[in-house]
């Protein structure tokens, strides 16, 4: 399970989740503080390109942490090492706080722990969201 913990800087809606990997993968969205599953979707094989799947719109609140992560299941992951783009960093209306991963995990239940969390210099996998700010 590879992804990142992020905070919206304004209220809005997440309309799609997906990522950049190889093979069909399950990507999930949780609220960080209570582990509530907000969305889970099978993302069709993007063959190492950005691909997103529709979800039922999820309203998110400014200042609240969320987690988006993809179950890689041992193959097809893409890694990025941030050099000048250290975390936390703000991209539009979202701040990516840090990356996380849990070895050998694939479940809708929020992980009881992350193998690595709070990493600011490296991210595992490439999960992503489509965020639409409230007007």
Q: pTM here?
A: 0.89
Percentage of the chain surpassing pLDDT 90?
50
Q: Give the closest residue to 69 by CA, choosing from 130, 7, 126.
A: 126
Distance CA(105)–CA(15), nearest Å, equals: 25
Q: Give the mean pLDDT of the chain.
A: 87
pLDDT at 19 over 60: yes
Domain boundaries, the chain: 2-133
What is the distance, to the nearest Å, from the Cα of residue 117 to the centroid of all Cα atoms in its chain?
13
| Whether 103 contacts 115, CB under 8 Å | yes
What is the reported pLDDT for 17? 96
Asked which of 19-23, 29-33, 58-62, 95-99 is least confident by mean pLDDT, the reply is: 19-23
pLDDT, one tens digit per residue, over 89-112 is: 899 999 998 888 888 889 999 998
pLDDT at 71 over 50: yes
Cα angle 87-53-107, degrees, rounded to a multiple of 5: 70
Paired tokens of 85:
């783009």
Q: Does domain 2-133 have CATH number 2.40.10.220?
A: no
Distance CA(117)–CA(89), nearest Å, equals: 16
pLDDT at 22 over 60: yes
Please name the residue that has the structure tokens 């991209």.
Answer: 91
What is the average per-residue pLDDT within 34-39?
97
């Amino acid at each position: 399970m590879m992804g990142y913990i992020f905070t919206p800087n304004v209220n809005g809606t997440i309309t799609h989740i997906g990522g950049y990997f190889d093979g069909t993968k399950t990507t999930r969205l949780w609220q960080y503080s209570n582990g509530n599953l907000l969305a889970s979707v099978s993302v069709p094989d993007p063959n190492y390109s950005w691909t997103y799947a529709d979800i039922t719109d999820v309203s998110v609140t400014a200042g609240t942490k969320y987690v988006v992560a993809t179950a890689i299941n041992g193959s097809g992951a893409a890694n990025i090492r941030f050099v000048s783009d250290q975390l936390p960093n703000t991209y539009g209306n979202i701040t990516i706080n840090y990356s996380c991963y849990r070895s050998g995990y694939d479940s809708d239940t929020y992980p009881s722990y992350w193998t690595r969390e709070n990493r600011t210099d490296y991210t595992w996998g490439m999960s992503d969201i489509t965020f639409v700010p409230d007007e």
